[in-house]
Structure 1
Amino acid sequence: MAFFFNRGRSRQPSEVARTTKELICRLLDKQPKVTSPMTARIQSLTKPQAEEELVKQLGHMKVIVQGTQEVNTSPEQVHALVQATLQEDLLLDLAQLIHILPFEARKDTQTIFSHILRFRPNNYAPDKDPPVISYIVHHRPEILIELCRGYNQSQSSMPCGVILREALKFDVVAAVVLYDQSQPGEPAVRLSDLKPNLPQTGEGVFWNFFDWIDKSNFEVSADAFTTFREVLTRHKNLVTAYLATNFDLFFGRFNSTLIQSDSYVTKRQSIKLLGEILLDRANYNVMMAYVESGENLKLCMKLLRDDRKMVQYEGFHVFKVFVANPNKSVAVQRILINNRDRLLRFLPKFLEDRTDDDQFTDEKSFLVRQIELLPKEPIDQSKSTRNVPPGVNTATVA
């Protein structure tokens, strides 16, 4: 179909953004807030025609931000498109609409988003967050929340995940994702309104990741877990404070939903992530709180007896933190003492076919020795734990 947008001339970024906005409005049966001479013609299109033209406009936007083998990008054109995109609020529209776009258009949208998020004008201070990132967290955090909700549909899970992980390179984005508690249709939290010391309700967008990981199809689950892990391991100071404030809620859900998932992949990856979190020096206080719990130890000991060897192996790396901790709680001591004989019979034969893993063999020997040295009865060591300096690494076998 020869369409009236093809004029045989180079179109300005502002015009491309304006046309894209009006085509989106047509697809969503919305009247644009600002009309143009093109509005009536766009509104007269059928939805298949509007979708076809939207795909073309997104392709044009991708060329502007990325260029081609024959055409280099122009920083001035990119800057103009970025400004026009923000003015038209296109990022929010695209985040909401991406799941209904054709496959190639979803890929183009992913490319456009990623380039715009990291765009820095000439002479822009390299130590500052890119301007679009700053704009989003201060003025339009709904964009981030809609990208997270892209995991509600399998079509949008991968492109939204790629975009999110580009944005999550920045602490301010991770903070919004962690602390937003808005529901669909409500404004998202602005960076200036965050209340990090206020415990979470468990109903914000971050908490949806547990269900996206555990209850979705493999493609959605895998991508959601990658993003989830990115949030929890990249921004150490932010996450340490978050986990301290929301310790019971977070680990209660982590243990019940992910560690005990029916999915082998989810279970294994989650145990490995738990080990990474606990053994990170930045999370020392979080680790100490986790390994004080007898219930957490019981859960970990069940993993050692799982019928899948890799689950056993990942579970071992969490179990060793409980045993290696020199300041075990009474509850943990009691469980280990009551199971001492069984553990001393079990551990030497545990995954004994890993003969080429010298570190694992040494760690098993270390744990056997620690269990042998346990007292006959639990000793209350709560007073001594108050004097343990933060720099001490209790996971000496890590």
Structure 2
Amino acid sequence: MAFFFRNKQSKFEIVKTAKDLLIRLRQPPQLAKTEDELCKLLSQMKVTLQGTHVYIEVDTTPEAVSALVNDMIKEDFIHILTCNIHLLRFEARKDSQTILSYALRFRPPGSTNEESPALAHVLDDRPETAIHLCRGYERKDSAMPCGAVLREILKNEHIAALVLYDESQGEDEPAIRVDDIQFEAPQSGNGVFWQFFDWINNAAFEASTDAFSTFRTLLTTHKPLVAHYLHVNFVMFFSKYNSLLIESMSYVTKRQSIKLLGEILLDRTNYVVMTHYVELPEHLKLTMKLLKDERKMVQYEGFHVFKVFVANPNKSEAVTRILTQNRDRLLRFLPSFLDDRQDDDQFLDEKSFLIRQIELLPAPATVATT
């Protein structure tokens, strides 16, 4: 239905006009007319990219989409839209999310490049775009659309590296380039990645949940990259993770964080990180507290972390001492632990295995006399 665009601007003038309107929207007063015009243009751009408009098929071609995306790159529109998405109305924010997602993954027909043109532009010329998508969590109106786009582009390992290693401060400071990353250098804790702990812990429920989803994607998608990052930044990462997430007052955050910790520790890629984590007595004490939490799902997720300490054949002296001192208490506690999970055969097998391992520990009195 080519008539959809009749009497409207050329598709290839839309980007520049929308860019100008976005810049104008930043400057008070914010006029309703400006917002109206911008909403219409964003809707047109979305239709060109998607090829649909309210259940109506619209004539569009890969060539038209490619030309529109190239125009977005030329005008730096992807970055400008990312920085200003919080100023838009609800429907325009939804349209912007669609525009950014489509543009960043669109490959022209026959392209053999690893990255889409728009994503290559972000990596080579505008890494700030990825960082600003993260900072979308600073505002409730931009958290959800920015988070959805960010998780899409985090499928690319270079984008994940940018988010992990960037330490730029503020909107106007250039972000790090992939070629400038020093993978062996410990982080300062001031970069955008470290702000996820605050966004997860302090944001409103929906934004917090979305931020955790992105955080989880970042930590589980590119495993060798993250394993090295956690090894280099072990102390700072787990200090924040334990104090801000595992001990969070939010039930959802606490439960999700314990579950993610168990996944990280049990992944073979993180073997070095796991062995370091389970040799520290303060981590064991924290985990044992989770077993006695009043909420059963916290207990259950805590169990999957606790089992890593017990099953470790090379326990540190400090961890062995704590387990031995608590041997009898654990042997009284574990048989009835979560005894309502009688249909969970894997859990029952793992619990039986842990009980046998704890039975093999020397009695506390024996340790005291040696």
Classify the TM-score, shorter chain.
over 0.9
Amino acid at match of 2:11: P
Secondary structure in 1 matching 2:168:
coil
Structure 1-normalised TM-score?
0.87
Alignment of 1:48 with 2:32, yes or no, is yes
Shift of residue 8, structure 1, vs aligned partner: 4.2
Shift of residue 177, structure 1, vs aligned partner: 0.6
Shift of residue 11, structure 1, vs aligned partner: 3.4
Alignment of 1:13 with 2:11, yes or no, is yes
Give the Cα–Cα distance (whole angstroms) in 1 for the partners of residues 301 and 59 of structure 2.
48
Shift of residue 7, structure 1, vs aligned partner: 9.3
Matching of residues 189-204 of structure 1 within 5 Å: 189-204=176-191
**Which residue does the alignment assign to 1:155?**
141
Matching of residues 168-187 of structure 1 within 5 Å: 168-184=154-170, 185-187=172-174
**Which residue does the alignment assign to 1:387?**
none
Give the Cα–Cα distance (whole angstroms) in 2 for the partners of residues 274 and 86 of structure 1.
39
Alignment of 1:64 with 2:63, yes or no, is no
Which segments of structure 1 move beyond 2 Å, counting only runs of 4 or more? Answer: 6-14, 375-378
Amino acid at match of 2:165: Y
**Which residue does the alignment assign to 1:229?**
216
Shift of residue 122, structure 1, vs aligned partner: 1.8
Q: Contact 2:25–2:87 (CA<8 Å) still a contact in 1?
A: no
Matching of residues 1-398 of structure 1 within 5 Å: 8-9=6-7, 11-29=9-27, 47-68=31-52, 69-125=56-112, 128-184=114-170, 185-375=172-362, 376-377=366-367
Secondary structure in 2 matching 1:355:
coil
Change (3 A) 1:46 1:201: closer
**Which residue does the alignment assign to 1:381?**
none
Shift of residue 371, structure 1, vs aligned partner: 0.9
Give the Cα–Cα distance (whole angstroms) in 2 for the partners of residues 11 and 99 of structure 1.
25
Shift of residue 237, structure 1, vs aligned partner: 1.0
Amino acid at match of 2:194: W
Give the Cα–Cα distance (whole angstroms) in 2 for the partners of residues 344 and 8 of structure 1.
77
Give the Cα–Cα distance (whole angstroms) in 1 for the partners of residues 156 and 318 of structure 2.
40
Amino acid at match of 2:110: N
* Mean CA deviation greater in 367-376 or 255-264: 367-376
Identity score, percent: 59
**Which residue does the alignment assign to 1:42?**
none
**Unaligned segments of structure 2, at least 5 residues:** none
Q: Contact 1:26–1:47 (CA<8 Å) still a contact in 2?
A: no
Shift of residue 80, structure 1, vs aligned partner: 1.1
| Higher relative helix content | 2
Structure 2-normalised TM-score?
0.94
Could you give the per-residue CA deviations for residues 14-61 of structure 1, whole angstroms, max 9, x where no partner exists?
Answer: 31011111111211239xxxxxxxxxxxxxx97211111000110111
Could you give the per-residue CA deviations for residues 52-78 of structure 1, whole angstroms, max 9, x where no partner exists?
Answer: 100011011101111113214311111
Secondary structure in 2 matching 1:200:
coil
Shift of residue 10, structure 1, vs aligned partner: 5.4
Q: Contact 2:168–2:176 (CA<8 Å) still a contact in 1?
A: yes
Amino acid at match of 1:325: N
* Residues matched between the structures, number: 358
**Which residue does the alignment assign to 1:41?**
none
Could you give the per-residue CA deviations for residues 225-279 of structure 1, whole angstroms, max 9, x where no partner exists?
Answer: 0000000011111111111111111111000000000000000000000000000
Give the Cα–Cα distance (whole angstroms) in 2 for the partners of residues 110 and 213 of structure 1.
21
Amino acid at match of 2:261: L
Give the Cα–Cα distance (whole angstroms) in 2 for the partners of residues 70 and 267 of structure 1.
45
Q: CA RMSD in A?
A: 1.7
